[in-house]
């Protein structure tokens, strides 16, 4: 297949994945009081998806590429540490805003951290998409389909986390879409650098996993504990488990779709 045809396919696939971010568009038409009741469950869904993606998908994929589980786990820990430093910077900026900067006064740091983690993850997806198209067009289409499948529950959870973090539903949908565009950056990066970009996945996959573990454990799970009611516990536990189940199901699906 010609290089320009490969590029067109990769860009189209990346754009398709970016558009999946609009799966959370439904929040725009839900009444505020109903949305307030739903958002904690979307946050717990995000926790399950983030942890499931990290432990079931990203870390095993990195270990398969690298061959050293201990190195991959250490890199994931570096990712946790990097996101710890990032949140320190976000919180410092939040606490030291100029008095006139009131536009983002009610935005929690967890929302900004979620955007950062999502942007990195989408960049990795762009590398995977373009790399698979460079290898074989059929592999490119199946990889894109698998990524779209696991993006849907993640985007739902992301929008819920952003709304919980203080963004309006419209802002949450819009900013989530902006973050999804880093898929295109990953596609361009891979088409420009080829094998070098593919090799970077050994580092980027566990770093993204570490970021997801940090965001879920440090920011989202403590937020869920702010709702101590029994119905809240049941709803959150159910959607938490569903998030993990979605990720496990996607891995099974990918193994069937992409044998070997």
Q: What contacts 243, CB < 8 A, 6 or more positions away? A: 44, 45, 46, 47, 48, 49, 50, 51, 52, 153, 157
pLDDT of 258: 64
User: Does residue 64 sit within a domain?
Assistant: yes
Give the position of tokens 């979605």.
246
Contact 240, 40 (CB under 8 A): no
* 52: Cβ contacts below 8 Å, ≥ 6 apart: 243, 244, 245, 246, 247, 248
Domain boundaries, position 189: 3-12+37-96+106-257
- What tokens does 213 get? 């573990």
Does 186 fall in a domain?
Answer: yes
What gap in Å lies between CA 26 and CA 74, rounded to an integer? Answer: 39
Contact predicate 197/127, CB 8 Å: yes
Can you read off the two tokens belonging to residue 254?
A: 């990918």
How many whole angstroms separate alpha carbon 114 and alpha carbon 159?
Answer: 10
The count of domains in the chain is 1
In a domain, 220, yes or no: yes
Residues in CB range of 49: below 8 A, 6 or more apart: 153, 154, 157, 243, 244, 246, 247
Residue 124 inside a domain? The answer is yes
Domain assignment present for 20: no
Tens digit of pLDDT at every position of the chain (260 positions): 567 888 999 999 999 999 999 999 999 999 988 998 899 999 999 999 999 999 999 999 999 988 899 999 999 999 999 999 999 988 876 655 543 344 455 788 889 999 999 999 999 999 999 999 988 888 889 889 989 988 999 999 999 999 999 999 999 999 999 999 999 999 999 999 887 888 889 999 999 999 999 999 999 999 888 877 888 889 999 999 999 999 998 888 777 776 65
- What's the pLDDT score for residue 92? 79
Q: Whole-prediction pTM value?
A: 0.87
**pLDDT attached to residue 135:** 84
Is 110 part of a structural domain of the chain?
yes
| Residue 22 within a domain | no
Average model confidence (pLDDT) across the chain: 88
Give the distance, in angstroms, between the CA of residue 99 and the centroid of all CA atoms in the same chain: 33
CB contact at 8 A, 219 and 109: yes
Burial of 88 (0-12, 13-18, 19+ CB in 10 A): exposed
Q: Give the C-alpha distances (Å, rounded to integers) separating 208 from 94, 98, 166, 222, 228.
A: 24, 32, 24, 21, 30
- pLDDT score at 158: 93
* pLDDT of the residue at 120: 94
Q: Considering the domain boundaries, does residue 218 fall inside one? A: yes
In angstroms, what is the C-alpha Rg of the chain? 18
pLDDT digits (tens, 9 = 90+) for 94-125: 655 543 344 455 788 889 999 999 999 999 99
Contact 187, 14 (CB under 8 A): yes
């Amino acid at each position: 297949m010609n290089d320009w045809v490969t590029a067109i396919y990769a860009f189209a696939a990346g754009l398709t994945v970016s558009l999946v971010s609009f799966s959370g568009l439904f929040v725009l038409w839900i009444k505020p009081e109903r949305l307030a009741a739903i958002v904690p469950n979307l946050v717990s869904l995000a926790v399950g998806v983030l942890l499931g993606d990290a432990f079931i998908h990203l870390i095993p994929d990195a270990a398969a590429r690298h061959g050293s589980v201990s190195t991959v786990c250490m890199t994931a820990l570096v990712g946790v540490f990097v996101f710890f430093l990032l949140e320190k910077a976000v919180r410092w900026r939040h606490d030291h805003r100029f008095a006139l900067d009131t536009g983002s006064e009610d935005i929690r740091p967890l929302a900004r951290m979620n955007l950062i983690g999502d942007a990195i993850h989408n960049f990795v997806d762009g590398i995977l998409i373009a790399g698979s198209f460079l290898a074989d067009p059929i592999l490119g289409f199946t990889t894109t389909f698998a990524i779209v499948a696991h993006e849907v529950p993640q985007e739902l959870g992301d929008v819920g986390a952003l709304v919980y973090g203080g963004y309006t539903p419209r802002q949450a949908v819009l900013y989530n879409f902006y973050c999804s565009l880093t898929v295109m950056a990953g596609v361009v990066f891979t088409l420009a650098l080829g094998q070098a970009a593919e090799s970077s996945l050994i580092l980027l996959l566990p770093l993204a996993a570490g970021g997801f573990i940090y965001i879920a454990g440090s920011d989202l799970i403590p937020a869920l504990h702010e709702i101590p009611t029994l119905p809240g516990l049941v709803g959150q536990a159910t959607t938490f488990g569903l998030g993990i189940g979605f990720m496990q199901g996607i891995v099974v699906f990918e193994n069937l779709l992409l044998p070997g």
